[in-house]
Amino acid sequence: MKTALYAPPIGRDVNAWREQLRRLDDSGLTAVSVSDHFLVGRQDPIAALAAIATSTRRLRVMALVLCNDYRHPVITHHAAATIDVLSGGRLDLGLGAGYLAAEYAAAGLPYDEPGQRVDRLAESVEVIKALFTDQPVHHEARPTR
């Protein structure tokens, strides 16, 4: 059976947070995850995933999920590749099309129709997957709807 929990929020005592992660790592739990919500979340998911990767030995490190519209796919790939190396190959990268209009508004981003957000996500997944190969990547953005 596989089990996962959201990572504990990072508090003022980072050493205590790391100790919580070590206990989770020793517990038999399969994975810890971090979500990408900045209005309700307490931590940046990329930085938190990197810290979790270096504070644990065995747990899968999960982005559950990163909002595609908050980051360029090349930047997402770069961060994911770095975290995957830091974790010794334990990263599970989850990507989503975004759904919280309030977060888009707070960030000053347009909240496009679901189809447009899903199209952008599909394009980003294509780019990110290609960047994980050893081949040069040439990509021309698709026209928007």
How many residues are listed for the chain in this entry? 145
Q: Environment class of residue 61 by beta-carbon count within 10 Å: exposed (0-12), middle (13-18) or buried (19+)?
A: buried
Mean pLDDT of 95-114: 96
What pLDDT is stored for residue 1 in this prediction?
A: 84
Dump pLDDT digits (tens) for 24-78.
Answer: 999 999 999 999 998 887 789 999 999 999 999 999 999 999 999 999 999 999 9
CA distances from 107 to 37, 38, 48, 54 (A): 11, 9, 20, 29
In 3-state terms the chain splits into helix, strand, coil percentages (rounded to 5) of: 45, 15, 40
